Amino acid sequence: MKNMKWIAAIILTVVFLAGTLTAVRADGTKRAAPKPYPLNTCLVCGMKLGEMGKPYVFVYKGQEIKVCDKSEKADFDKDPDKYMKKLADAEAKSKSK
């Protein structure tokens, strides 16, 4: 029984350390943090984020994306280029103001 506790402790330690090291690449350099999401609205439906609960956040090609809920991520995944263009257009519009 003592051996099982030690084995469990070692496994948990290894899992914890592996999780904390995921921000470091194999060559020792740190991964860049994702580019922050610049809008206060859902990229898919356009509603203000947070009105219907906590937004679902994920990273796509180094860009943080926020949508109202996980089901909208499925919509994003069907045509990500469409939504990335929508994001780029919104950023350009806000910078031109």
Q: What is the pLDDT of residues 34-71, one digit of tens each?
A: 999 999 999 999 999 998 899 999 999 999 999 999 99
Q: How many angstroms separate the CA atoms of 70 and 72, rounded?
A: 5
Residues whose CB falls within 8 Å of the CB of residue 56, separated by 6 or more in sequence, listed in order: 66, 67, 68, 69, 70, 72, 73
Half-sphere exposure of 14 (CA within 13 A, CB side): 6
- Which among 65, 70, 39 is positioned nearest to 53, based on CA atoms? 70
- 82-97: per-residue pLDDT in tens? 999 999 998 888 777 6
Q: Enter the pTM of the model.
A: 0.66
Q: Cα separation of 97 and 94, whole Å?
A: 6
> What's the one-letter identity of residue 73?
K
